[in-house]
Amino acid sequence: MKTEIEIAEYGREIEEQLMKTDSMGALKYYPGILRSLEWVITGQDV
């Protein structure tokens, strides 16, 4: 089980990768992953 801090760090890594990528496929999936991480951290759907 990951801690909230580890999950937040992982979210930041994903955001950085999203800003660097040119792949349209990645652009479709990263926002969903970030939303899932936010839900895990806060319990709220954004």
Residue reference for tokens 């990951």? 2
The burial class, CB within 10 Å (0-12 / 13-18 / 19+), for 30 is: middle
Query: Has residue 46 got a pLDDT over 80?
Result: no
Neighbouring CB atoms inside 10 A of 31's CB total: 13
Query: Has residue 44 got a pLDDT over 70?
Result: no
What pLDDT shows up at residue 19?
76
Q: Could you tell me which residue, 2 or 39, shows the higher pLDDT?
A: 39
pLDDT, tens only, 4-31: 788 778 878 877 887 777 777 777 777 7
Domain count, the chain: 1
Question: Does residue 32 sit within a domain?
Answer: yes
Question: Does residue 46 sit within a domain?
Answer: no
Query: Has residue 45 got a pLDDT over 70?
Result: no
pTM of the model: 0.51
Domain that holds residue 25: 4-41
- Please state, in angstroms and as integers, the Cα–Cα distance from residue 27 to each residue in 4, 6, 20, 45, following that order: 24, 23, 10, 19
